[in-house]
Amino acid sequence: MTANNDLREAWHQFCEDLKGAVDHVVDPAREVSDDERAEGVRHTVRLLSMQLEQVFENDDPLHPELGWNYPSKMGQDNPDAIYQTAPLDLTHTYRFSGNVGTVRSLGFSIMTWTFGTAPIRQLIELDGTDLIVDTHGNFEIFFSSQPAPVDAAPGTWFELEPLPTRLLVRQFFADWEAEQPADLHIECIDAATPPRLGPGDVIDKLQRAAGMAAFLPAYWTDFAEGHLGRDEINRFAQPSERPDTSGLGGTDRQAYHQCMWRVGNDEALLLEFTPPTCHYWEIQLGDRWFQSLDYINRQVSINDAQASVDDDGIVRIIIAAQDPGVTNWLDTAGIADGYLTVRYNLADSNPVPLLRLLPIAELDDALAPGTERITAAERAERLLANRRAALARFRR
């Protein structure tokens, strides 16, 4: 009966460890509304679900799966994205293969997964354009700590340090309706059939899932509130003013601008920038827990395939609770503040967008002549198309 007792004790401890997971949400020192606190609890539950799936179903580096979660709401996740991850142990050899599809941006990183305990190290970072594909878009590459075989084709074998790591795949969709996702596969080519889990395995997984489920929501909330502490409210800091975030697992092939947005019901925040020459750009709103807003049902993000550019080459985007009847609108989704992220992918420069807070009554005067307009019926049609396309992305 020893195993029974150990498993019961581990389960009770798991439940006990989860009790404090929402302490950062209900902390009275954090000035958020009751509705936002409720959303913070949901965010915590989402990350618990993510951790349970990861440690119980996709934690075996000898039999990795390219797992993804719906919704993957963590660290200001990109509404244009599918994120996939798989555990690797590079003392073994892996075949990574599939078809690149037509998705706008396809990126792969292999990194040490030391989040929260040490800076993350990127062992390799590839873009879909780095892959050698056939005429149908198919590819096959290998990751290993062993040297390449003599018959390996150039660009298909990557010799890396023999470390435990994770593979992270980012797929960013610009045209949500038209672009097809990459079809990807990862296999360890020198692994035997896996055994069933034992009591010790389950106990370890319960401990790790509870620990990360309590750690991650509070970590990202505190990270995001750094913008509040630096008075980055409705303004982007210059790159030289920002803290070093290189150890958090972000991609070097993407430039970011982030700040807190704060907009009243009778106000509008006008974002203006001249897009750099880049592979893809995107702008999104997030909430106080540093998760994306409801991009399934609301217009809370916009990218270069969706936005209109004014005749002077400037993109002007309106952030407001009220729909101003223009194409480039981001919906604040009924909340007063949150976090704003701008992404430039493979860009030749990194322009800092300008932000201006205006009364709604003065908005038309601030817009360019010829600003692209949209009717209520056209908005409803667009939102329905976005909803269907986003859910299809997640096979829902």
The string of DSSP codes covering 32-62 is --HHHHHHHHHHHHHHHHHHHHHHHHS--TT
Sheet holding 254-262, edge to edge: 254-262, 337-345, 280-286, 301-303
Mean pLDDT is lowest, of 54-58, 133-137, 145-149, 251-255, for 251-255
CB 343 within 8 A of CB 281: yes
- Quote the tokens at residue 273: 């920038």
Model pTM? 0.94
* Per-residue pLDDT tens digits for 246-301: 777 788 889 999 999 999 999 999 999 999 999 999 999 999 999 999 999 999 99
CB 312 within 8 A of CB 353: no
Q: Has residue 348 got a pLDDT over 90?
A: yes
> What confidence score (pLDDT) does residue 1 get?
57
